[in-house]
Structure 1
Amino acid sequence: MTEISPAPPVPPKKGGWEDFVAGNFAGMAQVFIGQPLDTIKVRLQVEPRFKGPMDCLIQTVKNEGFFALYKGRMASPLVGIGAVNALLFAAYSRLKAILATFPNEQLALYKIAIAGAGAGAINSVLSSPVELLKIKMQAQYGRSKATAGNSGLIYKGPIDCSKHLIREFGIRNGLYRGFWATIAREIPAYAGFYSGFEFAKRKLTLEGNSPDSLPPSKLMLAGSFGGFSYWLCCYPFDVVKSKVQNQKNPPKGIFYVFTTMSSIYKNGGAAALTRGITPTILRSLPAAGSTFTIYELTMRMLEKI
């Protein structure tokens, strides 16, 4: 009987500029694939006019056109959107290196979760204003002024939106409105995101092989599980964040995350804290799967340079 030799070890990730490049490409893939369902999710969270995901989809496309599903993202430079993911993956790689006790260690899943949580907190510095502008644009109804004349829209685009918010409320209460709500979401979300991905990677790896050598099909499966884990860990906080960032005026008090959550629950019950979760889960499977797959494959290619 021929003995099968284990696959050669995969070279360690460099964790420098490569993370930024790979993160940018991963972010772009996430936008193209996941943005339409994200728009539906946000509209369901902030606006009670829709009966459900399908009603929101039909009304949006019928009244505003297909590209309304890409509001808040495609109007921004894709490289800028990718920068959020670039910072996230770079911070995650760096924190993993800090938590490792020896080079090339396969970290325990709890350490992966800690590194993910830390990366999420760091990433909030960029993701908070990006998410704010995205939500403000997604929550606007009607076609763009450029194609439909005076449509009654408040903002022409993300840049115009940021100018309005800074002029009226300043940077902290304008552009960084909902920052603490973003952190409250990102910490548990990315703990679940990365630990879920690593857990699935290891389960899908054949004995004697390295989890870092998985083929694209299995990376997609592992990434999809990571995306599912992301939302399972944080969804009520995402509803709070969307509400806070979309409201006209800044939230009051330092505990607004909890007071807002309490208010949502009081007015709509537990269902209000999960409104929009169906399109969110559906979106997370291909979006997170492609994000991790593009990131991993790009890193492998860059490591050969």
Structure 2
Amino acid sequence: MDLRTVNELIAGSVGGAAQVLVGQPLDTIKTRAQIAPKGMFTGPMDILKQTLRNEGFFALYKGMASPLIGIAGVNSLLFAAYGVSKRIISPFPDLSLQQIAVAGAMAGAANAILASPVEMFKVRMQGQYGGKDDKRLRVVMRDMWKEWGLREGIMRGYWVTFVREIPAYAGFYTAFEFSKRQFAKKYGKDVPVWALLASGSTGGLAYWLSCYPLDVVKSRVQQRSTPPVGNPFKYIGGEIRAIIAESGFAGLFKGLTPSLIRSIPAAGATFAAFEITREYLLEYTGV
């Protein structure tokens, strides 16, 4: 394996861990806004208040074990796939923003392989509200495997995740690179850490704005008691129509506000951790 890819795998793991530790509480609020029964909450602040009152502070970190372990692998795959995609598109390091968007889309498509099961377990953990029947992660995993198997259980929502990741990471990397290049014009190659944080935050905002309705569909599909059947595009379209029938067009954007707020520190931390680790590895390995 190319040593550059190994370095990207390692740096991606560090970035993924930073992302989860910083962003999990707001991710829990976002997911609950998407999947909670109608009328259970009045909005994001009510979700926060009820969660703290009924389940305690650490309930905001429900489902963190899945992404903390999984996102390290997911981000390793993502950043490595992005690096490989850039090298496939062009042998030269300075790609245009259009080429960056294509490389990001390719990386997102590869990323869905690991992202789908990680997201599925996270959503199902976050969809428990402190009742006596709440399950631990290992029980959720065991039950999904036992009842539905690999395809319908562990990989539930794969196609929605796949469709979501393509525009999401095209927007993510394009916005990050654009912002970073603007800072580089002023600071040169030694872009300060705060500028990396700001660039990462810009990428995070672009990620959600590029894909959010599909994220709502993904969460609902993964939270169902039974897996979706038939043509993926048909059931994705059917879920979109069901959301609009229940909550209007605004239903496709439930939980968007906490997602955008979360993306500022979480994506900033992800990219800063990745870039700092990557620079260290570059000095250590020479590539």
- Cα distance in structure 2, aligned partners of 1:207 and 1:40: 37
What is the match of residue 148 of structure 1?
none
The alignment partner of 2:42 has SS state of: coil
What is the match of residue 156 of structure 1?
136
Contact 1:60 1:68 in 2 (8 A): yes
What is the match of residue 62 of structure 1?
53
What is the match of residue 68 of structure 2?
78
- Cα distance in structure 2, aligned partners of 1:97 and 1:14: 13
What does 1:24-39 correspond to in 2, within 5 Å?
Answer: 24-39=13-28
Deviation at 1:133, TM superposition (A): 0.1
- C-alpha distance 51-208 of structure 1, shift in aligned 2 (>3 A): closer
Matched residue type, 2:223: N
What is the match of residue 258 of structure 2?
279
Matched residue type, 1:99: I
Matched residue type, 1:272: G
- Cα distance in structure 1, aligned partners of 2:128 and 2:163: 25
Deviation at 1:179, TM superposition (A): 0.6
Q: Does 1:42 align with 2:40?
A: no
Matched residue type, 1:52: G
The alignment partner of 1:15 has SS state of: helix
Contact 1:219 1:289 in 2 (8 A): yes
Contact 1:220 1:289 in 2 (8 A): yes
What is the match of residue 213 of structure 2?
236
Q: 2:242 aligns with which of 263, 274, 293?
A: 263
What is the match of residue 112 of structure 1?
100
The alignment partner of 1:78 has SS state of: helix
The alignment partner of 1:206 has SS state of: helix
- Cα distance in structure 2, aligned partners of 1:178 and 1:27: 21
Q: 2:128 aligns with which of 125, 128, 140?
A: 140
- Cα distance in structure 2, aligned partners of 1:208 and 1:176: 44
Q: 2:81 aligns with which of 91, 108, 128?
A: 91
Matched residue type, 1:112: I
Contact 1:35 1:69 in 2 (8 A): yes
- Identity, % of aligned positions: 49
Q: Going by fraction, where is helix more abundant, 1 or 2?
A: 2
Q: TM-score, structure 1 length as denominator?
A: 0.88
What is the match of residue 7 of structure 1?
none
Q: Give structure 1 stretches of 5+ with no counterpart.
A: 1-12, 144-150
- Cα distance in structure 1, aligned partners of 2:166 and 2:67: 26
- C-alpha distance 77-261 of structure 1, shift in aligned 2 (>3 A): closer
Contact 1:14 1:303 in 2 (8 A): no
What is the match of residue 4 of structure 1?
none
Deviation at 1:96, TM superposition (A): 0.3
- Cα distance in structure 2, aligned partners of 1:274 and 1:57: 18
Deviation at 1:79, TM superposition (A): 4.2
- Cα distance in structure 1, aligned partners of 2:62 and 2:68: 13
Q: Give structure 2 stretches of 5+ with no counterpart.
A: none
Q: CA RMSD in A?
A: 1.5
Deviation at 1:214, TM superposition (A): 1.2
- Cα distance in structure 2, aligned partners of 1:220 and 1:257: 34
- Cα distance in structure 1, aligned partners of 2:61 and 2:186: 42
Q: 2:12 aligns with which of 2, 23, 47?
A: 23
What is the match of residue 51 of structure 1?
42
Contact 1:24 1:79 in 2 (8 A): no
Q: TM-score, structure 2 length as denominator?
A: 0.94
The alignment partner of 2:45 has SS state of: helix
Contact 2:171 2:207 in 1 (8 A): yes
Q: Does 1:245 align with 2:222?
A: yes
